[in-house]
Amino acid sequence: MTVNNQNELVHKAIAVLKSLESGNPEAITAYINPDKYIQHNQSLLDGREAMLSALDHLKEIGTKVSIKRTLVDGEYVAIHSVYDFFGPKIAFDIFRFENGQIVEHWDNLQEMVERTPSNHTMIDGPVMIKDIDKTDANKVYVKSFVENILVEKNPGLLTSYFDGDSYIQHSPHIADGISGLGAALQALEERNIKFQYTHIHKVIGQGNFVLTVSEGLFDGQQTAFYDLFRVENGKIAEHWDVIEAILPEEKRKNLNSRF
């Protein structure tokens, strides 16, 4: 895919998200397939019409969308942003395109925490994509980290993924460094809170940024984990995440899988 084609997909995806702020239906009408729009946000109905019918309400409550990062990987566009409706939330949205139109959507949202143990925000940090030639290698590397460390296939490899204790953390409950990660995991264990990744569903990458979409358990609830990693010099240098509980079946508005 050429850079121009990638830029076009990003433009369309951003325009759709900004529609939620403006209330203007033009981008949704132009860029979302009218006959096929598979919605994986289970609190929303399937299909394009559900988005169109929500616009007036979203504009009325003062919805804002601030885009921070975008990744393009084949037919997928992933967007890292701040939503503001009933308070600020950090979000990842993933759109899948077919023949230039959006046909599928996944997302994860989490309340924004102003003060974190690392003193970083949940959204700040580098945005520039580089090392495009290392995209595939970085995707393999990050996937192996999630499998070995978070799915716990080989947790003894933890230190091999980092440059010493140099690791910038944007998670709202974890301090910087491997030491911060270890302390957070130990604290969960001491409080008998189960934190377990069980399956990786997607790995989306562009250059030095890789987004993984996983499911698992957090404090007894089925949970969706979206983790964004920045890779530098062959090591994981920075991490952002959004964690959201999966709705129970009786509260879901569509029959699609969360993933």
Residues 152-204: tens digit of each pLDDT: 888 889 899 998 888 999 999 899 998 888 888 888 888 888 889 999 999 99
pLDDT at 164: 85
CB crowding 219-238: b at 16 or more within 10 Å, else e: eeeebbbbbbbbbbeeebbb
Residue with the two structure tokens 């997302």: 107
Topology agreement, domain 3-115 and domain 132-245: yes
pLDDT at 246: 97
Query: Which tokens go with 145?
Result: 């980290």
pLDDT at 247: 96
The CATH class for the domain spanning 3-115 reads: alpha beta
pLDDT at 154: 86
Q: Which of 206, 230, 238, 199 is nearest to 78 (CA)?
A: 206
Write the DSSP assignment of 109-129 as a string of letters.
EEEPPSS-TTS--SS-S----
pLDDT at 85: 92
Q: Are 71 and 77 contacting, i.e. CB atoms less than 8 angstroms apart? A: yes
Q: Are 238 and 168 contacting, i.e. CB atoms less than 8 angstroms apart? A: yes
Q: Which of 120, 124, 121, 144 is nearest to 205 (CA)?
A: 144
Which residues does the chain have with pLDDT short of 70? none
**Would you give the distance in Å from CA 145 to the centre of its chain?**
17
Query: Which tokens go with 149?
Result: 């460390």
Q: What is the CATH number of domain 132-245?
A: 3.10.450.50
Tell me the sheet residues that pair with 215. 199, 224
Domain ranges, ordered by start, for the chain: 3-115, 132-245
Q: Are 94 and 70 contacting, i.e. CB atoms less than 8 angstroms apart? A: no
Query: Which tokens go with 128?
Result: 């520039």
CA distance 256 to 259: 8
pLDDT at 101: 97
pLDDT at 72: 98
